[in-house]
Structure 1
Amino acid sequence: MTSSIAQSIVQIDGSFCEGGGQLLRNAVALSALLSKPISIFNVRQNRRPPGLRRQHEAGINLAASICSADTKGVEVDSTMIDFRPGPIQLPKTLSADPGTAGSTTLLLQIAFPCLLFSPSAHQAESESQEAPYHFGISPTLTVHRRGYYPKGGGSVLCTVPAIPGPLFPVVLTERGEVNCDPGECPPQRMVSDAHRTLVASGIPARKISITAVRERDQDVVGAGGGILLWAETDKGCLIAGSAVSIKEKKPKRVGEEAAKELVRNLSHGGCVDEYLQDQMIIFLALAQGTSIVKTGPLTDHTRTAIHIAQRMTGARFHLDENGPDSTTITCEGIGFTPSSR
């Protein structure tokens, strides 16, 4: 390796702020997308045990297959990895399987930014997209099978469309009024306790609608359940709360947890919840122009995502923390396109 190549490698301390898997996923995704080699040390230093788990290994290998990357240290328990990306070559069908009851959405988190852009996709002209709230992105996600802990075995298909140019910026500064609080969950005890908790928080019962859903036996692996609640506003915002059922947790507690999480995210008046807050940082950095998002208290995951996005892309972020419960994130994006690689 020549000294000029060595100097171009971005060195990243994996113990920064939240020091977990999100830092790893964001850094690798941007490395693949921007053709910037990275070395990450102290991988998942703030987790016990530290180092890569099988889900992280599968995610990095998925990103490597997207951009024909050379890797080093991508194995379980490793606390240092090297990722040297090559060209992204799409469209093609990709698959990843951590072999455990890990999160399919966390695998998607590392792959999705890479899949949005490729020279072939960029050249495919499509109709003008006018959906600034969604950055102009319209993916589809189909759940073929759910796999419950500890067996796993779920299957999800995500189809990512070609985009004709850089992502649109977003402006989310007014949440608006909550229209309704729909949700999906089994069994009935989760429904009743979630409903009771929402009403106790001050949400009118007439605005709450929860539907119980039971999957067919042939569509699941293992036994389990969960509850997803979300609030829709007249400004197009979605605020969510969720909880997963496990053997040691009573249905009553599952329903209460999801409802309390939703209420907590509604209480701060932001336009996104605590989980979407950090997930959108990569896309703010890549979008063209100025994005402004009002949210609740800034999470460590979001601070980490901003740190990595600034290091990797050069996008400029400004944080206006208006007290402990309100933050406005402003980002001047880089207007990334495949030709700017």
Structure 2
Amino acid sequence: MVRELDGSILEGGGQLLRNATALAALTNRSIRVSKIRAGRRPPGLKPQHVAGSKLVAQICLAQLDGADKGSDELTFSPRNIRLGNYSADPGTAGSTTLLFQVSLPTLLFSTSPIPTISTLKLRGGTNAVQAPQIDYTENVFLPFLRQHFGILVELDIRKRGYWPKGGGEIRLSITSRQDPLPSFQLLERGEVTKIRGRSFAAGLPAALARTMAETARNHLIEAGIDESKIEITALREKEGTAVGSGSGIVLWAETENGCILGGNALGQKGKTPEAVGSEAADELVRNLSHGGCVDEYLQDQIIIFMALADGVSQILVGPLTLHTKTAIWVAEQLTEARFQVEEVDMNRVLLSCTGTGFRRIINHQAQAQGSPTWN
């Protein structure tokens, strides 16, 4: 039986499709997603979504229909996941981090007690708009997964790619596990112990990176952050290490209880470096101000892992974002996980999930020969 999903529900963007295909692959459930990105202009699949869907289909030997640019309906019928080496390239500046997001859950679990290392070679944009910058993934997302879920991923940034050229490349090594992900409780943020950051310019004057870093530092100090806790590196990308020109800054705060919260901004034509630095600092300060244990971006990215974990996970967060509500909706449609939301005060919510304790059970009837490789 094919499970029907309305792709225009709640946030109604590409995140819904990414989470749905990842969970369908893990649970071996056929899905049909309609009205994909119905509220976007233009609606339907972009090359990035096509590449992500094809990547997961390759990993789980799925039959995939409707995976074409502009398509507003996609049918995904998985068979059996094969761990191994995979690659994806949308041929645009589409985000490499979003390609990683859709494929990571499918490569986490093995039927063997001996861990398997799968590799991903992903091309496209590394620091793109409307997607996590690779520096955020490296310094916020991956450390959180490692600390609270025991997920082991090694990231190698081979070349940075900026809009509109793309051309960046990252490689990732993902260590599989046989046991379910552990549940966790993270209920107190604790004091900020360090704020780190990376301010960069590629194909542009180094002064831009320095100005963004200095402006961000000043804004953080004005917001009450101890200057001795701030460490922001400003640099100009070396020739050959990036494609295209771009600039931006990523900040992240570390706390005594293991929380990591971020803030970031990208440079754009007509936008001063002072404005970029201020934007990133203001975003981090806003995420710190609500007192939750994750920022607004990490909040929705951890939902799928909470749903897969064994037992009850609890985390104190800021106001629930529409992306988070969408991720919860998808998880409850495709798994037995159940979420509860309890308002603590005007700014904070206690988010609980009774996870599925997912283990991978091999589908022998769906096994197929060969495992994709790349050189």
Q: CA deviation at 1:340?
A: 8.1
Per the alignment, residue 49 of structure 1 pairs with: 42
Counterpart code for 1:124: I
Post-superposition shift, 1:132? 7.9
Alignment partner of 1:115 is 2:115: no
Offset of 1:206 from its aligned partner? 2.2
Question: 1:33 maps to which residue?
Answer: 26
1:124 aligns with 2:114: yes
Count of equivalent residues: 327
Distance 2:226 2:335 in 1: 44
Alignment partner of 2:319 out of 280, 297, 302: 297
Would the aligned equivalents of 2:109 and 2:178 in 1 still touch at CA under 8 Å?
no
Q: d(CA) in 1 for partners of 2:87 and 2:249?
A: 27
Question: Are 1:133 and 1:171, in contact at CA under 8 Å, matched by a contact in 2?
Answer: no
Please, what TM-score do these two structures have when normalized by structure 2? 0.85
Q: Which residue of 1 aligns with 2:192?
A: 178
Counterparts of residues 314-325 of structure 1 (less than 5 Å): 314-325=336-347
Query: Which whole-Å CA distance do the structure 1 matches of 2:250 and 2:180 have between them?
Result: 32
2: CA distance, partners of 1:104 / 1:267:
30
Q: CA deviation at 1:236?
A: 1.1
Partner of 2:69: 76
How far did residue 125 of structure 1 move? Answer: 5.6
In the alignment, structure 1 residue 335 sits paired with structure 2 residue 349: no
CA contact (8 A) 1:132 1:168 kept: no
Are the counterparts in 2 of residues 173 and 271 from structure 1 also a CA contact under 8 Å? Answer: yes
Percentage of matched positions with identical amino acids: 49
Structure 1: which 5+ residue stretches go unaligned? 1-7
- Contact map agreement 1:132 1:170 (CA 8 A) in 2: no
Runs of 4+ residues deviating >3 angstroms: none
Distance across 2 between alignment mates of 1:325 and 1:76: 40
TM-score by length of 1: 0.93
Q: CA RMSD in A?
A: 1.5
Letter of the 1:175 partner, please give it.
R
Q: How far is 1:134 from its partner? A: 2.6
Q: Which runs of 5+ in 2 are unaligned?
A: 117-144, 201-208, 364-375
Report if the CA contact (8 A) 2:110-2:360 is conserved. Answer: yes
**Structure 1 residues 30 and 97: alpha-carbon distance in aligned structure 2, compared to 1, 3 A threshold:** same
2:94 is aligned with 1:102: yes
Does 2:296 match 1:274?
A: yes
> What is the SS of the residue equivalent to 1:52?
coil
Q: Which residue of 1 aligns with 2:150?
A: 136
Q: Which residue of 1 aligns with 2:265?
A: 243
Instruction: Look up the SS of the partner of 1:212 in the other structure.
Output: strand
Aligned partners of 2:46 and 2:285: how far apart in 1?
A: 32
Task: State how far apart, in whole Å, the 2-side matches of 1:194 and 1:225 are.
Answer: 14
Matched, 1:24 2:17: yes
Q: Greater shift after overlay, 201-210 or 106-115?
A: 201-210
> Residue 340 and residue 280 in structure 1: after superposition, are their counterparts in 2 closer, same or farther (change >3 A)?
farther
SS at match of 1:25: helix
Contact (CA 8 Å) 1:184, 1:229: kept in 2 or not? yes
CA drift of 1:251 comes to: 0.8
Counterpart Cα distance in 2 of 1:132 and 1:103:
22
8 Å CA contact 2:110, 2:177 repeated in 1:
no
Local SS of the residue matching 2:81: coil
